[in-house]
Amino acid sequence: MSLVRYCVNGRLVSGVSPTNRGFAYGDGVFRTMRLLDGELQDWPLHYQTLVADCSKILMVCPSAELLMQEFKSLMSAGEDETKLSGVVKIIITRGDGARGYAPPAIAEPTRVFVWSPLPVYPEAIYTQGVALYQCQTRLASQPLLAGIKHLNRLENVLARAELKDPRFFDGLMLDYQDQVVEAVSGNLFIRKAGQVMTPILDQCGVAGVMRQKILDWYKTQGQPVSLTRLTVQDVLTADAVIITNSVYGVLQVTQLDAQPLAHNDWAHTLRTQLHYVVH
């Protein structure tokens, strides 16, 4: 039996129509976040990002009130323990549509919440860090969709399918200009001579909410992160490298393929500074 539970437009139905534009064309956006002690972590920032991403693909994001109401109706239908913790994915699509790419004149966005249990990570990913493999799959440059967490994720699927050796936690993705962009399922920062840097994501990649939290935090410290272009060489010669996402938080990267990377307590420190609770 599946441990996953979901609702569509606030109802516990068996699925979405195959004519839904999310299914037909990947015509929508999504976000994944943790539910801890009954609270959706960083919901205001996730919602703000959903609104911005919807707007970039010419959709209007449903109101935060509607989304919270539908989320609560999903949670109230669950077993007790699932009301308190888990991973919650919210998907907003351009709704049902007739055949053809043309967006409906008046689109009624579809709202989907998917709850699943919190992943169980080995403790070592926090205490010892993780290894990345360098993906053969490159990201295409498409400024119109860069940064958006949209539903067109075949590149990530192909990149993740390259992982055969379970000693690697995630992959490092480059674009066709040999620039480092992100991890398959997270963002990447490096630190070198005191300067924190992360790829600019104006051509491809997903701008994660944890990435934004880190950018915001360094800004409040008067040490803005440099949004820049990075090469594999920059990663290999950094003083420290981290990957970030809303589920695992911040992880130290200690290896790229067979190559060890310099590392320190940056990830641990950042988790503390951002009040990230290891679940």
Rank residues 138 and 263 by Cβ distance to a copy of itself and give the closer one.
Answer: 138
- Rounded distance between C-alpha atoms, residue 30 and residue 156, angstroms: 14
| 166 touches a copy of itself (CB under 8 A) | no
- Pick the piece of the chain touching a copy of itself (CB under 8 A) from 112-120, 123-131, 219-227, 231-239: 112-120
Query: From start to end of 117-239, where are the E strands?
Result: 130-134, 170-174, 180-183, 187-192, 195-199, 226-228
- Rounded distance between C-alpha atoms, residue 6 and residue 12, angstroms: 7
- Rounded distance between C-alpha atoms, residue 255 and residue 236, angstroms: 9
Rank residues 16 and 35 by Cβ distance to a copy of itself and give the closer one.
Answer: 16
| Residues with Cβ within 8 Å of residue 264, at least 6 apart in sequence | 239, 240, 252
Residues contacting a copy of itself: total by CB under 8 A: 60
Show the binding pattern over residues 132-151: x = contacts a copy of itself (CB under 8 A), - = does not: -----xx-xxx-xx----xx
- Rounded distance between C-alpha atoms, residue 12 and residue 278, angstroms: 30
| 131 touches a copy of itself (CB under 8 A) | no
Binder of a copy of itself out of 173, 184, 230, 267 (CB under 8 A): 184
| 10 touches a copy of itself (CB under 8 A) | no
Binder of a copy of itself out of 45, 103, 217, 236 (CB under 8 A): 103
| 205 touches a copy of itself (CB under 8 A) | no
| 192 touches a copy of itself (CB under 8 A) | no
Binder of a copy of itself out of 73, 78, 82, 89 (CB under 8 A): 89
Query: Angle at CA 140, nearest 5°, toward 16 and 234?
Result: 120
8 A C-beta contact, residue 8 and residue 112: yes
> Smallest distance, Å, CB 223 to a copy of itself?
32
Binder of a copy of itself out of 1, 38, 81, 98 (CB under 8 A): 98
Binder of a copy of itself out of 12, 60, 124, 161 (CB under 8 A): 161
Site for a copy of itself in 246-275 (CB under 8 A): none
CA-closest candidate to residue 94, choices 82, 103, 102: 103
Sign of the four-CA dihedral 267, 271, 274, 279: positive
Bridge partners, residue 132, by sequence = 170, 256
> Smallest distance, Å, CB 251 to a copy of itself?
15
DSSP one-letter string for 138-165: PBPP-TTTTB--BS--HHHHHHHHT---
- Rounded distance between C-alpha atoms, residue 23 and residue 8, angstroms: 13
Residues interacting with a copy of itself, by CB under 8 A? 2, 4, 6, 8, 13-27, 30, 32, 57-58, 87, 89, 91, 94, 98-103, 112, 114, 116, 119, 137-138, 140-142, 144-145, 150-161, 163, 176, 184-185
